[in-house]
Amino acid sequence: MAPRDMVLVGAITGAHGIRGEVKLRSFTADPSAIASYSPLETAAGRKIEITRVRPNKEGFIAILKGVTDRNAAEALRGTELFVPRERLPEPEDDEVYVHDLIGVPVHLADGSLLGEIIDVADYGAGDLIDVKIEGRKDTVLIPYADQYVLAAGEEKVVVDLPEGFLDVEEKRGEEKP
């Protein structure tokens, strides 16, 4: 887990070829901008410097300083890459870094408190806010999309959920062994 002042900007998903190139997935608004934030850091504080990057169908292929063979590249598989928050541009008025949403209270459209964001996940189909609801053992994943999120900021997030959304999530949690 990275410190609060570090923002996740990408991940190494595997090795490419035999010369130490890595497959790189970017989480930046402009995916190709990830190289401009180099050097990046791992959660353990190791510096990762991107010397060259080129697009491919699954993201990017990158050459990293000091990574010269497939074994070294393969050892980095799954490594998350972070950048200090202060090196990122300030978000526009209608934008927020999803990293900044952790710990923010979530309110329903009627103004009532739903819970608190404990994580933001992306399983490939877009960001999901993971909300801990008071009095429930499980958490609720809510798509971070205009359809559900009416307003988002560092003070609070307001969501409009379809009728029965929370009931479905609660039943799903009860089915687990």
Q: What is the CATH number of the domain that holds 16?
A: 2.40.30.60
Residue 27 and residue 10 in contact, taking contact as beta carbons nearer than 8 Å = yes
Q: Is residue 165 part of a domain?
A: yes
Write down the pLDDT at residue 3.
52
Distance from chain centroid for Cα 26: 10
The DSSP call for residue 89 is P
Same domain for 20 and 44, yes or no, is yes
pTM of the full predicted structure? 0.66
Longest dimension (CA), the chain: 57
Domain boundary among 68, 87, 106: 87
CA angle 135, 138, 141 (to 5 degrees): 115
User: Strand 6-16 and strand 80-84: pairing?
Assistant: antiparallel
Same domain for 59 and 129, yes or no, is no
Q: Is residue 93 part of a domain?
A: no
Same domain for 138 and 111, yes or no, is yes
Write down the pLDDT at residue 35.
92
Q: Is residue 167 part of a domain?
A: yes
Same domain for 10 and 82, yes or no, is yes
Same domain for 82 and 147, yes or no, is no
Instruction: Extract the residue ranges of the chain whose pLDDT is less than 50.
Output: 1, 169, 172-173, 176
CA atoms within 13 A on the CB side of 172: 10
The type of residue at 15 is A
Same domain for 55 and 115, yes or no, is no
Same domain for 119 and 77, yes or no, is no
Same domain for 102 and 81, yes or no, is no
Nearest in space to 116 (alpha carbons), one of 98, 134, 100: 134
d(CA 25, CA 12) in angstroms, rounded, equals 6
Same domain for 106 and 148, yes or no, is yes
Place of tokens 């190139």: 21
Domain boundary among 25, 57, 87: 87
Same domain for 35 and 66, yes or no, is yes
Write down the pLDDT at residue 168.
57
Number of domains making up the chain: 2
* Domain of 156, in residue numbers: 98-175
Domain boundary among 42, 68, 87: 87
CATH of the domain at 121: 2.30.30.240
d(CA 144, CA 19) in angstroms, rounded, equals 39
In b/e form, how buried is each residue of 142-167, taking b as 16+ CB within 10 angstroms? bebeeebbeebeeeebbbeeeeeebe
Write down the pLDDT at residue 74.
97
Write down the pLDDT at residue 137.
87
Place of tokens 């930046």: 28
